[in-house]
Amino acid sequence: MQIPKGKYVYFSSDNHLGAPTTQESLPREKTFVAWLDSIKHDAAAIFLLGDLFDFWFEYKTVVPKGFVRTLGKLAELRDAGIPIYFFVGNHDLWMDDYFETELNIPVYHKPQEFTFNNKTFLIGHGDGLGPGDKGYKRMKKVFTNPFSKWLFRWLHPDLGVRLAQYMSVKNKLISGDEDAKFLGEDNEWLVQYCKRKLETKTYDFFVFGHRHLPMEVALKETSKYFNLGDWINYYTYGKFDGETFELKKLES
């Protein structure tokens, strides 16, 4: 994709809408929607890198209640012709085809390659990548197993959604408080993942979420890893102008 002059590619991750409660997350949702509205005039594309919702599950005919401001704004931007790409995170990994059929937004469950102005990106949420975190990787296999999803669908939505929301909010991954500091390149699993990917292919930019910590790490002279932070503590996002990628903080 070629980025026209004066246009930008935007990246956002880890909003966790609905946590710790719908009412408490409403101001954050309104802030996010206002940001989406502010970039619609110059957005060449928008990437949402997961955990937009603190919990999301698609029954065959039911989706979680709420988030109409966000969904309505995304629909408006897509109807205006702005490409939007969604990557599921560990909190909304049970997303199926609702975004694709209702909003015309493609949904990805694994990192994907994109090229803008001859710059190559590898983009994803970031959970379960790299060495370590074996307990989560085993848990993810259970949660994403089709049989597990089939079993969960037998719970009435009023019970299933309430139970899942309670467990999600109790999960420390909502805030990232336990590891919201840079651990060093050797202990940052996503940094290690990116370095291993560079052994077989060249990428200009790796862009991920999940860590709830804004990061910029030089991997090679022409390759960098960025983590987008979150919309809970940092209100940070990524912006690519066709040549340069920057981490930006929402102006208050």
Structure tokens at 91: 């909190």
In whole numbers, what is the pLDDT of the chain averaged over residues? 87
Burial class, 96, CB count within 10 angstroms (exposed 0-12 / middle 13-18 / buried 19+): middle
In this structure, are residues 19 and 169 in contact, taking their beta carbons and an 8 Å threshold?
yes
With cut-offs at 50, 70 and 90, classify the pLDDT of residue 3. Answer: very high
> Which residue did the predictor score with more confidence, 195 or 58?
195
User: Left, alpha or beta for 82 (phi > 0: left; psi -120 to 50: alpha)?
Assistant: beta
What pLDDT, on a 0 to 100 scale, did the predictor assign at position 125?
95
176, pLDDT greater than 70: no
Identify residue 164 by its one-letter amino acid code.
A
Average pLDDT over residues 219-240: 96
What pLDDT, on a 0 to 100 scale, did the predictor assign at position 1?
86
Q: What percent of the chain has pLDDT over 90?
A: 61
* 49 Cβ neighbours under 8 A, 6+ residues apart: 11, 12, 13, 14, 87, 89, 123, 124, 125, 126, 207, 208, 209, 228
What pLDDT, on a 0 to 100 scale, did the predictor assign at position 175?
42
CA separation for the pair 192, 7 (Å, rounded): 32
173, pLDDT greater than 80: no
Average pLDDT over residues 230-249: 96
With cut-offs at 50, 70 and 90, classify the pLDDT of residue 167. Answer: low
What 8-state DSSP symbol labels residue 173?
G
Distances (CA, A) of 119 to 85, 182, 219: 18, 27, 15
With cut-offs at 50, 70 and 90, classify the pLDDT of residue 93. Answer: confident
> Which residue did the predictor score with more confidence, 130 or 63?
63
What pLDDT, on a 0 to 100 scale, did the predictor assign at position 94?
79
Distinct helix (H) and strand (E) counts, the chain: 7, 11
Give pTM, 2 decimals: 0.88
In this structure, are residues 90 and 127 in contact, taking their beta carbons and an 8 Å threshold?
yes
Average pLDDT over residues 166-192: 68
Structure tokens at 56: 């999301």
Q: What residues does 116 pair with on adjacent strands? A: 119
What pLDDT, on a 0 to 100 scale, did the predictor assign at position 6?
94
Residues 16-33 as b or e (16 or more Cβ within 10 Å = b)? bbbbeebeebeebbeebb
With cut-offs at 50, 70 and 90, classify the pLDDT of residue 181. Answer: confident
